[in-house]
Amino acid sequence: MKGSGIALVVDDSRVNRLVLTRLLSGLGVEVLEAEHGVEALELLRAPATAIDVVLLDVMMPELDGYETLAAMKADDAIRHIPVIMVSGVEEQESVVRCIELGATDYLTKPINPRILAARFNASLASKHLRDLELEYLEQQRLLTQTIERQKAELTRFLSPQIAALISSAEGEQLLAGHRRQITVAFCDLRGFTAFAEQADPEELFGLLGEYHRMMGEAIIEHGGTLEHFAGDGVMIYFNDPVPQEDHVERAVRMAVAMREQFAPMSAEWHKRGYELGFGVGIAVGYATLGRIGFEGRYDYGAIGNVVILASRLSSQAAANQILLSQRAAGMVEDVVEVESVGELEIKGLSRPVSASNVLAAR
């Protein structure tokens, strides 16, 4: 016989409690006793009490077995504890009532030791199975909380799109590498090197914090994917990993919003004796995107001539200029007002590149 566990015997008869206690002790079961339903419920609800099975008499004063059983099943903290009804009442109506109220089993007096052992062990196994289920559900809840917390941490250090990509089942294929047309925007500050040489470290970090905060808000608002911050330099691309039909327009409108938001910042730093301007280069073309790096330190990046062109245009942009490649300008001619800046000599390219400056968004 299996035995073990903790049983609560509830019966107003001391003799009946003694008989059940001896039988259960012979099975290796630890036994607690209660004279009536009120005392039983107090024991069951006590935080330090871990009762596995209740053996409950039907006929008792103060709170009978039916009422005690109903009270247990109405309490979420103890409703899953198996209850074996024990009674001298053999009427089928009583048995049916107890089962309807949620009793696990029903024993009639006098108690047959072998039947008691079999039904107690069955109830104990049911309780242990339920405990395992609850433990599993709690582990799943904690795991879900951990995953959600890790996702939240990822979004603090990664672009939201990349964080979602890493935590999705379909993301692995994109991380492995793929080719797609994207729009790339490079942004940096004119006069930042001179500022960094003159400013105190606290001023330098204060400016970068304000600048990055402004940039981050605009990137998120327009659905851009941040590739990296590098001092005052920022690289953003569109149409990956989330496809965007209007990716060029998004990039241009983001740059215009950044330029407008940078103006009061520039004016404030001018009062302190620092001349800082904002420049952007935007190009559109095909690139290979995916996981870049090594075990323990991976980034999600883009490789291709479009990245080089956007970077070079950014370096050519004067303060407050947003330079577009010829293809990018052609794709947004209906939504922005531009002026040609002619052909630019771009380092690394054999021929000059036609570029346009964005005057305003329509």
Name the segment(s) of the chain with CATH classification 3.40.50.2300: 6-131
**Strands across the sheet with 105-108, in order?**
30-34, 6-10, 53-57, 83-87, 105-108
CATH class assigned to 6-131: alpha beta
Name the segment(s) of the chain with CATH classification 3.30.70.1230: 170-361
Q: What pTM was computed for the model?
A: 0.58
Nearest Cα to Cα of residue 226 among 278, 250, 216: 216
Looking at residue 5, its pLDDT comes to 85
CATH class assigned to 170-361: alpha beta
Looking at residue 238, its pLDDT comes to 94
Average pLDDT over residues 282-289: 94
192-248: pLDDT as tens digits: 888 888 888 888 888 888 888 999 899 989 999 888 777 788 999 999 888 899 999
- Pairwise CA distance, residues 96 & 115, whole Å: 19
CA angle 69/136/121 to nearest 5° reads 45
17-44: pLDDT as tens digits: 999 999 999 889 999 999 999 999 999 9
**Which pLDDT band, with edges at 50, 70 and 90, does 157 fall under?**
very low
- Pairwise CA distance, residues 30 & 14, whole Å: 17
